[in-house]
Amino acid sequence: MIVVMKPGCADGDIDRIIERAHRLGLREHLSVGDERTIIGLIGDVHRVDVGAIEALPGVERVLRVGHPFKLASRAFHPEDTVVAVNGHSIGGERLAIIAGPCAVESEAGYLEAARLVKQAGADFLRGGAFKPRTSPYSFQGLRREGLRILARAREETGLPVVTEVMSPEDIPAVTEVADVLQVGARNMQNFALLAELGGCGKPVLLKRGLAASIEEWLMAAEYILANGNPRVILCERGIRTFEGYTRNTLDLSAVALAKTLTHLPVVADPSHGTGRADLVPRMCRAAVAAGSDGIMVEVHPNPAEALSDGPQSIRPDAFAELVATLRPLAAVVGRSL
Ligand code: PEP
Ligand code: MN
């Protein structure tokens, strides 16, 4: 971290920075020029509040040399992290295929969908019991009953379950059933939830916020890591842009870039990323080509009747076809399926 002092600042201003640095366990390297003094702060600067230093008298600017995230960074952990999930894994050579309806709507409907996606090649089931909906009048999910159905589907198919947790008080109940707890885009900066998930003992799939920068997304992951949970999977699910033809803009450059910035697995969700079932298969293939460690796809046996996200849900037969086309593609990019 570099602290650029104002020209002609007082000696006391420099001493104050050095004193502060020592209190934070850092060392300093002073570079005294004709006009300005520059102070290099050396050590674990992740805990330093840039704004607080910048507010000190005599300081012109503070520059961070590295990234503000530490545990999530590739510099800290050069090898890819492979998250183990109950006999399966996310982040290794094999692509993770996470599929299922947006929400758990009924026992019979969910079990049918679960069987169909398994048959088609999914290795994780998805489905929300707790649904974050823009309108309070929309279907909010079956909640505890939804969790019971997910547990049944997990037992019947043998597939691990990925499901959303919306608030800290639901973590114990969701943890009992889920193999991976999903943090939805709207909760990406719910810091109380993230911190609590640090102690849940299960992997967490962290969706990128609707308007979150890549750095904010990685800082959200850092919350979970810093609170004791090393099993974090990132999920790019599209961001808000000016474009109206798609629900969101699936940012595949974020997938490619995140893979360079972090060792954590990164998957893509073209269902929410586009909002359009017709685009989902092509964008899944694009995500794999971009280096995604897996895909999350909404699949519904009857999308026209879905209680949420029908327009972006593909049918089981289209999903089976998608998985078949991903196989040769995976091999081209050095992955397997
Ligand atoms: C979902 O996965 O159904 C969901 C609500 O996702 P997101 O948080 O990305 O909108
Ligand atoms: Mn959905």
Any idea what the CATH number is for the domain that residue 50 is in? Answer: 3.30.70.1140
For ligand 1, mutation pick of 102, 207, 271 (most atoms within 8 Å of CB) = 207
Total of domains in the chain: 2
Are 34 and 165 in the same domain?
no
For the CA of 187, the closest atom of ligand 1 is 8
Q: Determine if ligand 1 sits within 6 Å of the CB of residue 185.
A: yes
Are 8 and 117 in the same domain?
no
DSSP letter for each residue of 39-92: EEEES-GGG--HHHHHTSTTEEEEE-SS-S-STTBTTT--SPP-EEETTEEESS
* Centroid of ligand 2 to alpha carbon of 103 (angstroms): 7
Calpha distance 80→219 (Å, rounded): 18
Are 53 and 142 in the same domain?
no
71 located within any domain = no
Low-confidence residues of the chain: pLDDT under 50: none
Indicate which residue's Cα is closest to atom 8 of ligand 1.
184
Q: State the amino acid at position 173 in one-letter form.
A: A
Indicate which residue's Cα is closest to atom 1 of ligand 1.
102
Calpha distance 275→235 (Å, rounded): 16
- Assess contact for 79 and 321: CB atoms under 8 A: no
Indicate which residue's Cα is closest to atom 9 of ligand 1.
185
76 located within any domain = no
Q: Determine if ligand 1 sits within 6 Å of the CB of residue 291.
A: no
pLDDT value at residue 36: 92
Q: Determine if ligand 1 sits within 6 Å of the CB of residue 87.
A: no
Calpha distance 30→39 (Å, rounded): 5
Interacting residues of 80 by C-beta distance below 8 A, sequence separation 6+ = 91, 92, 263, 265
Are 197 and 305 in the same domain?
yes
Q: What is the CATH number of the domain that holds 309?
A: 3.20.20.70
337 located within any domain = no
Q: Determine if ligand 1 sits within 6 Å of the CB of residue 102.
A: yes
pLDDT value at residue 46: 86
Are 18 and 106 in the same domain?
no
Are 101 and 156 in the same domain?
yes
Calpha distance 266→294 (Å, rounded): 7
Structural domain harbouring 32? 2-63
Calpha distance 13→6 (Å, rounded): 10
